[in-house]
Amino acid sequence: MDLLKEKIAQEGKVLSDTVLKVDSFLNHQIDPLLMREIGEEFANRFKDEVITKILTIESSGIAPATMLGLTIGAEVVFARKKKSLTLSGNLYTSQVYSFTKQETNEISVSKDFLSPDDNVLIIDDFLANGEAVKGLLDIAKQAGCKIVGVGIVIEKGFQNGGKVLREQGIRVESLAIIKSLKNNTIEFAE
């Protein structure tokens, strides 16, 4: 997706060989016009699938998932990283390790929002080692959902998450794949 790649090239900041900061349009401040284009691109890539629910994780997956939901008319469910007073009992849960934050979180989704009747598309902002996606896949499987695929805004192709998921037969559609962040330079995969 050229518009996304241009935005990454212009505004992305390489913090290390493995960390790309895109908080000016995706992770802190959100560019709604870009998010609309991202939602439309995911809709186009998964147009052959019947999607009843979009599953993501708080917080940076919510914007692209919501724009996709608006485009295709599907509800968006997001896994919470912290429990609240209103989210107790009757939950699907999974453990997710964050390499960025160096911590493990228990993510949870109310059993009221996913069922075996659902065809679920998982959406997330980044795919690196695949831990967040694995947690979301686990939750969808616990609910008995059919998983139609995974949509990723930015995949770090130099890390193994995408490779592992694809080897498991999971359809992964990434809008931009970063080949390398070495030498403070963003290099895209073709």
Going by the annotation, the residues of the binding site for xanthine are 20, 27, 156
Q: Which segments are annotated as binding site for 5-phospho-alpha-D-ribose 1-diphosphate?
A: 128-132
- Per DSSP, which regions of the chain are E strands? 13-14, 20-21, 53-57, 75-79, 91-98, 103-110, 119-127, 146-156, 172-180, 187-188
Q: Which segments are annotated as binding site?
A: 20, 27, 128-132, 156
Cα separation, 110 vs 79, whole angstroms: 8
Report H helices in the chain.
2-11, 32-45, 62-72, 131-142, 161-167
Q: In what order do the strands lie in the sheet with 75-79?
A: 75-79, 53-57, 119-127, 146-156, 172-180, 187-188
